Amino acid sequence: HSHITLLVRIVSYGAGLRLLIAQDVTQLRKIEQMRKDFVANVSHELRTPLTVLKGYLETLQELEQPLSPLMSHSIQQMQEQSERMQYLVDDLLLLSNLETQPKRILCVDIPTLLDKICKENEKLNNSAGRIELTLETKAHIKGDEHELRSAFSNLLGNALKYSPPRSWVKVCWRQTNQNLILEITDEGEGISDAEIPRITERFYRVDVKRAHKVAGTGLGLAIVKHVLLRHDAHLVVSSELHKGSTFSCVFPLEKKC
């Protein structure tokens, strides 16, 4: 059986004139599904050879006899690059799972989750910024804890990565009349208005020269965007060059549990 998917739109032209447009999007859906399957397969299949490679590199480095400078430099480079590839594959797989796997919705204790994420990041970046966590509300929300953790952790990681050492990163969980909002504010290098719309694209990194100094895959904010969309939430970015940025995750109040 072949199913046909129709996209039906009603276009109004005023004065009671309406047009019904039906478009066959079967082919588009198929191509989109093929793309998703392809990314899922590739990222999955790359993991095994990568693990083997890293294993051999470790063995080489632990060799008894002293290595020549060229040899030890080469091994170090290969290790760094395979590490980089590991991050890419992990992020791709995560992104792909977001497109293909169902969410596991539970009531997530956001204050506790944020506390954990802040502590983890403080340990990882002990030379970099300092984190101040403010919990204005104790609200929990219905969501997938694993997904929310990676989104929040990506945002906090970025705030620290793109800021000077010992600057402050402020994390605030609060409630307004209509929303629950997680705000992450840094005193970092900021992003220009022209770049803001592009930073959630896959693999997009602002200013490649600058970005090369900081490790990253360009997939973090794409992951954040997807996770939030899956929770009926959205990302708001406000930023000023050389002053800092605020990334806000805005959840509808109905998500509260």
Residues forming contacts to ligand ADP in the complex (CB under 6 A) are 154, 158-159, 162, 186, 188-191, 199, 204-206, 211, 216-222, 245
| Residue 163 vs 255, nearer CB to ligand ADP | 163
Q: How far is the CB of 163 from ligand ADP (least distance, A)?
A: 7
Nearby residues of 221 by Cβ (< 8 Å), 6 or more positions away: 154, 158, 199, 200, 235
Hey, how many other C-beta atoms are within 10 angstroms of the C-beta on 232?
Answer: 13
Q: How far is the CB of 203 from ligand ADP (least distance, A)?
A: 8
Q: How far is the CB of 112 from ligand ADP (least distance, A)?
A: 24
| Residue 143 vs 190, nearer CB to ligand ADP | 190
Q: How far is the CB of 83 from ligand ADP (least distance, A)?
A: 14
Q: How many CA atoms lie within 13 A of 253 on its CB side?
A: 7
Separation of alpha carbons 185 and 249, rounded Å = 12
Cα maximum dimension of the chain:
87
Q: How far is the CB of 237 from ligand ADP (least distance, A)?
A: 8
Provide the β-strand partners of residue 142: 107
Which residue has the CB atom at the shortest distance from ligand ADP? 216
Alpha carbon of residue 89 to chain centroid = 13
Separation of alpha carbons 249 and 246, rounded Å = 10
| Residue 96 vs 139, nearer CB to ligand ADP | 96
Hey, how many other C-beta atoms are within 10 angstroms of the C-beta on 249?
Answer: 23
Q: How far is the CB of 161 from ligand ADP (least distance, A)?
A: 6
Helix (H) or strand (E) holding 174: strand 168-175
| Residue 60 vs 196, nearer CB to ligand ADP | 196
Reduced to 3 states (helix: H, G, I; strand: E, B; else coil), residue 247 is: strand
| Residue 168 vs 204, nearer CB to ligand ADP | 204
| Residue 205 vs 255, nearer CB to ligand ADP | 205
Q: What are the helix (H) ranges across the chain?
A: 26-61, 69-100, 110-124, 145-161, 208-213, 220-230
| Residue 113 vs 223, nearer CB to ligand ADP | 223
The DSSP result for 12-45, as a single string, is: E-STT-EEEEEEE-HHHHHHHHHHHHHHHHHHHH
Q: How far is the CB of 194 from ligand ADP (least distance, A)?
A: 13
